[in-house]
Every structure is written in structure tokens, then in C-alpha cells.
Structure 1
Amino acid sequence: MDKRASRAKLLYSVTMSADGFITGPDGDMQWMRPYLGPNPEVTELIPRIGSILVGRRSHDGDDPHKGEPGEGEAFGGGWDGPLFVVTHRLPSTPEPGVTYVDQLPEAIAMAKAAAGDKYVNVIGADIARQCIAAGELDEVLLIIAPVFLGAGTRVFDEPGGRTVRLQPRSTTAGTNLWFDVLR
């Protein structure tokens, strides 16, 4: 697929602790429960998402909505649409509404085609890092929860280090930071 044919943009939207972690130790997402309250910017964003691109670890991992309505669903059940899981471990039994893809470029192309002129929402630190490395990530929305976790999965972690420049954009809520990725 010609990259210019799709108007979809890849957006890494993520809730993180004030010290930069998106999960606690061992992938724990329960830390997030007290901070899942209403967020007008996220409410406005959800209908602008056309597809989701997620890594297998994030897709199969802990759910901050565990035991609640919306468990196992994107945005706690607030979003429904095509979901593309990037994995080298393709499942033997397909999951309804989920497309498993073993190559990132193919997954990005499929997610963009499905999104049309809406966002492809990227979920998972490693998939976001891979999208940055491929020059495909367009925007970042960081939702900062007022807590320090001290350990877990970092919002961005590049072995050996790497600088990725971001251009700040205006935001509507004090805990949300929205950036364009500069190339």
C-alpha cells in the first residue's frame, strides 16, 4: 500500500506515572484504577480512532478494568473497531475482531487502511518504539497520572539510548501532554 494514499496518522496515546512508567512491576496495570476518571480530551479522541495497533504483550496483559464492565475491551469498552496485534506468536485459534500480524510494516499498512482518515492508536511501549524506529509514529498523547511507581515498563525505552524530538501542542487538560514527532 502506498503510504501517501492513507491519511491515517499513528498516535501513541498512553497513561503513565509521573516518573514515566506505563505498567508497574511485572506488567501490573492495577495501579491505574484510581486515575481512570473522566478525561475530556480522551473522550473527544475516542471517536477519532479508526483502528488500534497493539503488541501481543499489551494485548494479552493485565487490564486496569479487570472485574469491571469493559474488561478486555479497548478504552474500557468505550471504543470498538478493528484491532491489529503485532506478534511472532500467532494464535492457533483466532479471536473475533482481532487480526494477528507477524510483520510490523504489514500491520501498520493494514491498520492505516482500516483507520481511513482517523487515527491508528498505538498501544504498548515496544510497538511504539518500533514505530518510531520505522519513522511511522506521528503523534504522542501522554496522560500523566499523579503517582510515582518507581519500576515497571517505561513509556519509551531504547537500549543504548536515543533522542526522539517532540513538538508540544496545546492541550485541554492539565495532565495531558500532546506532541508531534519531529523527523
Structure 2
Amino acid sequence: MAKLLYSATASLDGYIAGPGGDMSWLTEHLTGENATAERLLANVGAILAGNRTFGGDDPNRGTDSEGAFGGQYHGPVFVLTHRPPAEPPEDVTFVGDLHSAVAQAKDAAGDRYVNVLGADVARQCLRAGLLDEVLIFFAPVLLGDGVRMFDDPGGAQVRLAPVPGETAHWYSVVR
């Protein structure tokens, strides 16, 4: 059965996007090979994204690398939103309910990962007890402001445990 994994690249001060969702800061940090990212991509069976993430800034916009995983991901995408577009893009499913979106994405992913993209959707999955793992890549930059990796004022403490045999910053959610 598919696992729900939140993966993101964050600044060292914990931001995944700059003010207003700006992702341009990430461009200079997407160069070179990353064995963990390549292994992750090979094991992603579906993407679950929030509407802001789906329609937001892309550090590779207008290039061959535009899209998830630098344009290398080709598969089912589910977008959690209450405002789907009138003319949705092909191969993208818009879903208005978190549990339904997760179920559909897991079904599409089979025995691979559902990769969660977007801090708000990750927070919702975590609060609902649906998130299984967290993988964070850190870029050597301090943004100072923007969209936090996790922002849940009043939320409960969540314990994480390193995934055995995996790279640093890949954790299981302890239930």
C-alpha cells in the first residue's frame, strides 16, 4: 500500500518558499546530482499538491525542467482545492476533500509513494494522522521570511524517527 510522504527543499531557517510563494531562490540549488532525490523520484507513484503549490511559482518556469522534480515526474497528480479550474489540465485530478484526495492518490500510486507537495496540505495530512514520512532537503541559504516548512500554531508536537537505511532528514511519523 502507498505511503504518504511530504518532501520539500527548505532553507536552513525552515522556509520552502520566499515571501509571496517566491521559488526563484531555489534555482541555484537545483544543480548537480542528488542520489536521494533520484531514488525518491523512482518511487513516486502519485503527487498530492495544494492548489497554491500547483498554481504557484516554479523555479524552472519556461524551461525543460519546469514541473515537479525538475520536470522529470510524469504521472498522476491530485490537487486539493475547493476551487477547481473551469478547464482542468489533462492528467490532473482536482479533489475538494482531503480524505478523498489521499485515497485517490494512494490508489493511483499502488505500492509506491504519494509525494505531498505544499506546506498547507502537509499540515492537513499531519493533523489528520495521514502522513507517514517526511523528507527534507536543505539548501545553504537563509531566506528570513516566506512559507514555512511546517506552520501549525496551536498544533500538537509530532515525533519523528529516522527511516533506517535512509539519508539524514528522512523520517517516519511516530504514531
| 1:44 Cα offset (Å) | 1.1
Alignment of 1:67 onto 2:62 = yes
Cα distance in 1 for residues equivalent to 2:143 and 2:157: 23
Question: Is the counterpart of residue 28 in structure 1 residue 34 in structure 2?
Answer: no
Residue 74 (structure 1) shift: 1.5
Q: Secondary structure at the match of 2:69?
A: helix
Q: Which runs of 5+ in 2 are unaligned?
A: none
Distance 2:121 2:23 in 1: 17
Among 24, 47, 63, the residue aligned to 1:52 = 47
Q: Which residue of 2 aligns with 1:119?
A: 113
SS at match of 1:79: coil
The one-character-per-residue Cα deviations of 1:113-166 (angstroms, maximum 9, x if unpaired) are: 000000000000000000001101000000000110000000000022431111
Paired residues, what number?
173
- Matches of 1:59 and 1:77, distance apart in 2: 13
- In structure 1, the partner of 2:172 is 180
What's the TM-score once normalised by structure 2's chain length?
0.95
Moved more, 38-47 or 98-107: 38-47
TM-fit CA distance, 1:70: 2.5
Which of 87, 95, 106 pairs up with 1:93? 87
Give the Cα separation in 1 of the matches to 2:120 and 2:84: 18
SS state at 2:169 partner: strand
What do you get for the CA RMSD once the two structures are aligned?
1.1
Determine if the alignment matches structure 1 residue 129 to structure 2 residue 127: no
* CA distance in structure 2 between the partners assigned to 1:159 and 1:165 by the alignment: 16
Q: Distance in 1 between matches of 2:125 and 2:155?
A: 16
Residue aligning to 1:3:
none
Q: Which runs of 4+ in 1 moved over 6 A?
A: none
Aligned-partner Cα distance in 1 for 2:72–2:134: 20
Q: Which moved more, 1:31-40 or 1:101-110?
A: 31-40
Match of 1:110 among 95, 104, 113: 104
CA distance in structure 2 between the aligned counterparts of 1:52 and 1:171, rounded to whole angstroms:
21
The CA deviation at 1:171 is: 3.8
